[in-house]
Amino acid sequence: MKANTEKKIILSAKELYKTYGKGEAAVHALNDVSLDIYEGELLAILGSSGSGKSTLLNMLGGMDKPDSGSITIGGRELSALKDRELTRYRKDDVGFVFQSFNLIAELTAKENVAMTAVAEKGGDIVTEMLELVGLGAKLDSYPTQMSGGEQQRVSIARALAKNPRLLLCDEPTGALDYETGKQILIALEKLVRDHGKTVVIVTHTQEIGRMADRVIRMRSGRIIERSVNESPVSAEIMEW
């Protein structure tokens, strides 16, 4: 773990358990899962459907709570937060990027991003974030006027506009073709390498792990392997 020993831990999850259903129908979505997330790293969580990776992401993002275990970020234990505090955590501390873009069709790219922008920075941060993901020329375009990759980059800019501690991406290339998906990975990589953001990508595409600083592999609700990439591969040259 030499690559991370000098970095600050921004989130720590300990012994997470989560079961849905009861009796013979019970599904053990998480079974004794522990991990740390470091500031300024790209972390890939890999696993097939049903491995527990999306459940874990939902826990880290405060969208679901474990049956037992703890998640600590910024000195706060998420399970101890009241509903209003948890809503503020999701609003202020975490940015979400999903497989579906979830843009509002009646709003321009700039207006979609402005919905989550840090209030004190307003329009400046909106334009800055869209330029950061390569969409400075699309400020006034509507979702129907943009490609799938451009829409996904708008959703990334929207997540970044609130200046989150953590950007959580759940299958961000899942609804995109190969070349467009690669452009999204390049954009996420740039956020980490050039701008020091902390990004977690959950995916079933094993090859994506090659671009990450660390890789966690999951199966049947457990972490089965942890690895560090001393020399991550550039997203530009990856193939899958």
What average pLDDT score do residues 118-128 get? Answer: 69
What average pLDDT score do residues 45-70 get? Answer: 95
**Backbone φ, ψ for residue 82 (5° rounding):** -75, 165
155 lies in some domain? no
Residue 77 pLDDT exceeds 60:
yes
Rounded distance, CA 57 to CA 60, Å? 5
- pLDDT number for residue 118: 65
Domain containing residue 199:
2-93+164-237
Report the percent of the chain where pLDDT is more than 90.
Answer: 80
74 lies in some domain? yes
**Higher confidence at residue 240 or residue 69?**
69
**Higher confidence at residue 79 or residue 60?**
60
Rounded distance, CA 108 to CA 102, Å? 13
Residue 26 pLDDT exceeds 70:
yes
Residue 2 pLDDT exceeds 70:
no
The one-character DSSP state at 222 is E
- pLDDT number for residue 46: 98
Q: What is the CATH number of the domain that holds 63?
A: 3.40.50.300
Considering the entire predicted model, what is its pTM? 0.90
- pLDDT number for residue 187: 93
100 lies in some domain? no
Contact call for residues 129 and 139 (beta carbons, < 8 A): no
- pLDDT number for residue 41: 97
Rounded distance, CA 146 to CA 148, Å? 7
Give the pLDDT band (50/70/90) at residue 1. Answer: very low
Angstrom CA distances, 153 to 14, 160, 164, 176, 237, stand at 32, 10, 16, 12, 20
119 lies in some domain? no
152 lies in some domain? no
70 lies in some domain? yes
Rounded distance, CA 212 to CA 127, Å? 28
Rounded distance, CA 103 to CA 75, Å? 33
124 lies in some domain? no
43 lies in some domain? yes
**List of residues 6+ apart from 185 with CB closer than 8 A:** 172, 173, 208, 211, 235, 238
Residue 5 pLDDT exceeds 90:
no
**List of residues 6+ apart from 1 with CB closer than 8 A:** 228
Average pLDDT, the chain: 92
Give the pLDDT band (50/70/90) at residue 123. Answer: low
Give the pLDDT band (50/70/90) at residue 3. Answer: very low
Domain count, the chain: 1
Determine how many CB atoms are found less than 10 A away from the CB of residue 155. Answer: 25
